[in-house]
Structure 1
Amino acid sequence: LINLICDILNGDEREVRFHPNQLRSNTRLQPEHLNLLIPELKGVCIHTTHRNQDRIYRIKNILSTAVSMKFERDGKEVSVAEYF
């Protein structure tokens, strides 16, 4: 997924601006970069193997921060940042 994101953000430019080693969990992208990624990544399936069972997730949307994405857990609303 990180390589795909870099390919999308670098586009057809000869100079590589985004490299997989640069993108970390605390990397913030500019709004114009998010606008490039959103239509390209919507619907992409992600296969996870880090838990006891394999799961496949489909990307629905990209948000600017993990703080803005919230879900319900044990009857309480928590952000992705709070959860992890």
Structure 2
Amino acid sequence: LINLICDILNGDEREVRFHPNQLRSNTQLQPEHLNLLIPELKGVCIHTTHRNQDRIYRIKNILSTAVSMKFERDGKEVSVAEYFR
């Protein structure tokens, strides 16, 4: 997925602007980059293995960073990033 994101963001440019090593969990993309990614990634299927369970997810949208997206767990608010640490 990271390589696909780099390909989309780099487009047809001869000069590579985005490299997989640059796109880490704390990387924030500019709105214009997200506008390029959203239509290209919408509907892409992602295969994951977590806790010995294979699952397939379909990308619906790109909303926010894992640090800023929060949910309630055991009565406490945690970020997605905290949950997966």
Same fold by TM-score greater than 0.5: yes
Instruction: Work out the CA distance in 2 between the residues paired with 1:83 and 1:74.
Output: 12
C-alpha spacing 1:26/1:68, structure 2 compared with 1 (3 Å): closer
Unaligned runs of 5+ in 1: none
Q: Encode CA deviations 1:38-57: one digit per residue, 9 max, x unaligned.
A: 11101110001243111101
Cα distance per residue 1:16-73 (max 9 Å; x no partner): 0001111111111111101110111011100012431111011111123124434454
Q: Distance in 2 between matches of 1:39 and 1:51?
A: 31
Instruction: Determine if contact 1:45/1:57 at 8 Å carries over to the other structure.
Output: yes
| CA separation of 1:73 and 1:51: change in aligned 2, threshold 3 A | same
Quickly say closer, same or farther: Cα 1:72–1:56, change in 2 above 3 A.
farther
What is the percent sequence identity of the aligned residues? 99
Which has the larger share of strand?
2
Q: Which residue of 1 aligns with 2:58?
A: 58
Contact 1:34 1:64 in 2 (8 A): no
> Residues 32, 48 of structure 1: CA spacing in aligned structure 2 closer, same or farther, 3 A cutoff?
same
Structure 2 unaligned runs (5+)?
none
Q: 1:56 to 1:72 in 2, by over 3 A?
A: farther
CA RMSD, 1 decimal = 1.8
Q: For 2:74 and 2:41, locate their aligned partners in 1 and report how far apart those are by CA, in whole Å.
A: 30
